[in-house]
Chain A
Amino acid sequence: MTKATFVRKEMLPPQEAPASQRGAIKWARENLFSSPLNAILTILGLLTVVLLVKGALPWLLNGVWEAGSLMECREIIAARHGEGATGACWAMVRERWHQYLFGFYPQPLFWRPTLAFALMFVALAPVLYLGNRTVNTIMAGVVTVLTVLALIGISVAFPQAIAGADAGVAALLAVVIVLGALTAVAWLAPRKLMILTLLYPAIGFYLLWGGSIWGPIGALAGFAILALVYSLTKGQLGVVVGTGAGVVAAMVWWLAVQSHITGALHSLLPFSITHVDSDEFGGFLLAFVIGVTAIAASLPMGILLALGRRSDMPLIKALSVGFIEFIRGVPLITMLFTASLLLQYFLPPRTNFDLILRVIILVTFFSAAYIAEVVRGGLAALPRGQYEAADALGLDYWQAQRLIIMPQALKISIPGIVSSFIGLFKDTTLVALVGLHDPLQGVTKVVRAAIEWKGIYWEPYIFVGLIFFACCFSMSRYSMYLERKLKRDHR
């Protein structure tokens, strides 16, 4: 009988997994080289990346930021990196960035679009983050800091942008006070920030176009009249007729009465800031004006069209279907040419109907037709029981839509709606075809027409592309955030 010479008393410490089964090697084996086909694809992919980087990296690294012309850029690159070296000429961006951002907006007034842009985020915050106090406050605070930095940057780059030093400091102080107050409001009374959201269209318009303050106030008064007539007549006439009466009253005000009253008020109390003509708009200012207005206007319009298309009333249904199908059947470029050329034939001669306004209207129609179909998809995805439940609760049509149908349908449609908006924002570059100075083609053409920058090719596209990417990527991230936040099921 053999006697056990060794008996293990305690457990061995666990050993590390073999080298091939852990860490980076395991990850690479599982994800990159799991099969011969995958291995080949990985190698091909890596080769492509290496070739791209090898081609583009020296060009990017050799970039020149300080030069007066493309020729000078080339000389500097040749002097630094030897004959035949290539490099990017970022000096063009340095010289012309303001045209890419503001177009031909008067330089002393650059603070106005900047402030309008900043206020847009503060005004959007309550809508985007559904009254989340912390997020709203952080957003307003960050916007305040960035705006002040941007304004300081602008006044350094364009000393003439601020007429006198005192006025400049005063303007800066005013901006700080306004934005700071808004930040405080966001923290103390988050619901009050919605007032800014509602007023923002008028504020933004006034900041961008300027002119007499009574114009935007008059336009807002139209909405007040609409609300007043609606609330007065709703009791006797019902919701639909009340709304109709309100719209009619507001239309009468806007079309026939407003200009006389605002004119009289302006002669009594002439308060105005420098008027800026639409044709001085360009670059990203133009892209944002068209994009943001069309996005904001096309969502409600699209929802109404989607409801109209599912309506039982034959006339409304026919009109909605006709509108949606007609607009969707026509390319956007056709709409733009209609806006710029055809409308002018139908309008009385010498009517001065702003080209940018015409383009915004037709781009809004275009986008609304697509949004309508996206929303209709959301409506169709709701189970029939939801509609029946709403009816069983005794809700009327609009209550049912507001409380039960729309919240669910819109939640389903978020990805589709946001991708429509991203597409719309990028489509704003098409306005170059009707001679507006969009950032991608319009301003680039202007820059290339200067003899100093003639022949520059990639740099403007990269610069503009990066800005577009930043905007569209944040929109897409936001839509993912919203989807997560609104997720109520437990799939």
Chain B
Amino acid sequence: MNKSVFLGTLAASALLAGIASAGTLDDVKARGELICGVNTGLTGFGAPDANGNYQGFDVAVCKAVAAAVVGDASKVKYVPTTGETRFTALASGEVDMLARNSTWTFSRDNDLKLDFVAVNYYDGQGFMVHKDLGVSSAKELDGATICIQTGTTTELNLADFFKANNISYTPVTVADDSEAQRQYLAGACDSFTTDASGLAAVRATMPDAENHVILPEIISKEPLGPAVRHGDNNWGDVVRWSFYALVAAEEKGITQANIEEVAASTQDPEVKRLLGLEGDLGAMMGLDKEWAKRAIAASGNYGEIFAATIGESTSIGLARGLNALYTQGGLQYAPPFR
């Protein structure tokens, strides 16, 4: 009897769940909360602050999506994921989307059945060396010892780069960034390699930053972006266009501060469509008219988010570089809102 009740409950809940899981968008709307997979802690990109509130460049994407879909940027449940658990957490339905500096690669897209919907940060792998080593290019690192995090794409990129240039190196494997920094400062390795954004953050917090240089070579492409489950295209579109709304807002000069003013006075038809004053773009995705307005108002446009979390005015001090708008020599480019 006990067993049959249990199985009955299980079957009933499975049935209910089957009906409920029509699509992630409907689930999120019904739940009134977005479940966003984020990093367990990465400087500038996503980490809880001293009061436990999640902040950062990736976290801002979660907030924008929540604002667009649920109508409130604070209605996000952040699920910290590690490098090992992130993709399974997404695939098993534990999170609705990942915004966790994950590199968009062919095998992740096809083999792991993820959909990377956009690129919110174009990164690349770089090297940091002690200044007194007298090295000015990564190609001069023949025979160097290099601190490298195990089990990452950076490890593979490093091997590829040295093989391609026919030079040798000795790897010193470390578990995470803080250990790498420790080993590098203690002189256990000549050079430390990771994503350029990570290098900049590490250098910014070194006691003797002036004695270390980041070499000009970027040896890999690391397009980092939000990802969703393969097959739920409607939800993928929602996340993608919520992000592009932020980029388009920067292109059009719409900021968190002036958005109401722009909405009241604009004559630009695309801005009108974006802000829901004309046409009905939101309804095409299953959202209301003001979805993009709320997404932009959540933490500002793409440029504002960049400046507030990792930009040159912060201690991390990253330049826009590849992440500038296409009009300023970068790669960020929003498809037309039409």
Contact = CB atoms under 8 A, between A and B. Distances in A.
Interface of A: 70-71, 74, 95-96, 99, 103-104, 107, 247-248, 251-252, 255-256, 277, 279-280, 337, 340-341, 344-345, 348-351, 432-437, 442, 445-451, 454-457
Contact of A251 (B2, B42, B81, B201): B2
Contacts of A337: 84-85
Contact of B81 (A351, A435, A454, A457): A435
Contacts of A448: 41, 43, 177-178
Contact of B2 (A252, A435, A442): A252
Nearest to B93: A349
Contact of A255 (B9, B78, B81, B89): B9
A351 B94 CA distance: 9
A247 B204 CA distance: 61
A191 B314 CA distance: 61
Nearest to B178: A448
B17 A445 contact: no
19 contacts: A252-B2, A279-B78, A340-B85, A341-B88, A348-B10, A433-B85, A435-B89, A445-B47, A447-B41, A448-B41, A449-B39, A450-B47, A450-B50, A451-B44, A451-B204, A451-B205, A451-B315, A454-B178, A454-B204
Contact of A279 (B21, B43, B79): B79
A348 B41 contact: no
B182 interface: yes
A74 B185 CA distance: 15
A434 B21 contact: no
Contacts of B316: 451
Interface residues on B, range: 35 or more
Given A95-B50, A446-B41, 12 more contacts: A74-B207, A277-B77, A348-B18, A349-B21, A349-B93, A350-B27, A435-B82, A435-B89, A437-B40, A446-B47, A446-B48, A448-B41
A348 B207 CA distance: 52
B92 interface: yes
B176 to A, nearest CB: 8
B212 to A, nearest CB: 12
Contact of B13 (A70, A351, A446): A351
A60 to B, nearest CB: 18
B14 interface: yes
A454 B206 CA distance: 9
Nearest to A457: B182
Contact of B14 (A340, A348, A447, A455): A348
B1 interface: yes
B50 A248 contact: no
